[in-house]
Structure 1
């Protein structure tokens, strides 16, 4: 069995590759990257690296030669049309390279009425795969917990979480846990290839006062909850280049659409995911 991982130098892809190296022989693993200049660390580990450009189906076809199962991690663009075209290019390349199986990495903001900018893409992809001839599996991630760690100093300074989600809860998963589940799923054919959909989450979702209490306990600083409006949130983070997109995501959260939890992680891995308090304790330095 030959496995390929796209986005193999990214935050999630690099972790998936690392997890897979502990489960399969390196000769059976291919890391697909957009830029070879960022792949030195992978090459030093004797992992096969191939360049593949989502925008070029010919490039992806060459990268996918000899692959049996693709773990497809999308790009980070907020351009829905571009993201759809990247998927279409990849599926075309899979057909030309005769790749039969795909694990599609998704996000749980895919509801029909979800106002998140990328919701149309996350709704499109499963339906597109369902109408294809590929053996596929959908893996939806909850919100990544990892960005909370570098965000803590700002929250400590503000003395409050400001996410505009009101009384609704948010659900999280760590990048490491997501990567472990994806790697484990890849080597367990009994759990994939038949259109299964999994949601990777911690065991509990959190209201913002509950999350603030966890953060306060971990940091020994008082953090409360004082939400701002969606407009204000977008304005605060517009300098980062994704203020409006993040605001649209939390709009979905305010509608109760980012709170889902399941036991799917445990089904795939055989153990519970890392809970929020443990995750923050292990990654935050006071």
Structure 2
């Protein structure tokens, strides 16, 4: 079987490469990258590289030749139409290249009433794939726990978590756990051949008081919870380039749309995901 991972040099993509390498030989894995010259280390490590431009169908047809299972990790654009166009181009290229099996990486925010700016894309995926003729599974991630680690120094300085979600909870998963599940779905036909729709989460969700207590325990610094408004949150982080997008996601969380918990990770891997407290303690390094 020939597997291909798009977005292979991204944060999640690198983890999927590592996890898939535990389940099949490197020569069975092709890595889709935007600029192969910038991924020389992966080539040196024994992986085959292929240039993938989501806007160029012909390039993807070439890259997808001989692939049995495609793990599709989308680009990071926050433009819904661009993301839809990239996905449709990829489906066209898969059809022309004869790829039959797809593991599509998605996100928890896919409800019809979800105000997150990218929710329209995530809601589109399962309906679109149902008529695609592919063998596929949609693997939705809860919020990644990983960005909390570099965020901790700021929260320590603020003395508070400021997410504008009130008394609601959010679900999380680590990228490592996500990647392990995605790799397992890719190599096990019974997990991906029937249009399955998975949601990867930790064993529980966390309201912000609970999350703040776990952060306090991990850092040894007192962190509480003092939510700002959605608009204030957007204003604080707009200069970093994603303030409005993040604010819309937390607006969804405040509506109770980001708190689902499933046992899908255990169903796929056979063991429990890492809990938030253990994740924070393992990864936080005092500055």
TM bracket (short chain): over 0.9
- Give, in whole Å, the separation in 2 of the partners of 1:117 and 1:38: 30
Aligned residue in 2 for 1:94: 94
CA contact (8 A) 1:253 1:259 kept: yes
Aligned residue in 2 for 1:133: 133
Moved over 6 A (4+): none
- Give, in whole Å, the separation in 2 of the partners of 1:105 and 1:43: 24
- Give 5+ residue unaligned stretches, structure 1: none
Deviation at 1:81, TM superposition (A): 0.3
Normalised by the length of structure 2, the TM-score is 0.99
Summarize deviations over 1:195-253 as a string: whole Å, max 9, x none. Answer: 00100000010000000000001101110000000000000000111111100000000
Aligned residue in 1 for 2:207: 207
Aligned residue in 1 for 2:153: 153
Deviation at 1:96, TM superposition (A): 0.4
Q: Does 1:170 align with 2:170?
A: yes
Deviation at 1:185, TM superposition (A): 1.1
| SS of residue matched to 1:245 | helix
Aligned residue in 2 for 1:228: 228
Aligned residue in 2 for 1:254: 254
Aligned residue in 2 for 1:67: 67
186-195 or 216-225, which deviates more: 186-195
CA contact (8 A) 1:9 1:38 kept: no
- Give 5+ residue unaligned stretches, structure 2: none
- Give, in whole Å, the separation in 1 of the partners of 2:8 and 2:131: 27
Deviation at 1:188, TM superposition (A): 1.2
Q: How many residues align?
A: 286
Deviation at 1:22, TM superposition (A): 1.3
- Give, in whole Å, the separation in 2 of the partners of 1:18 and 1:222: 36
| SS of residue matched to 1:256 | coil
Aligned residue in 1 for 2:14: 14
| SS of residue matched to 2:11 | coil
CA contact (8 A) 1:117 1:248 kept: yes
Q: Does 1:26 align with 2:26?
A: yes
Aligned residue in 1 for 2:121: 121
Aligned residue in 1 for 2:77: 77
CA contact (8 A) 1:68 1:100 kept: yes
Deviation at 1:21, TM superposition (A): 1.1
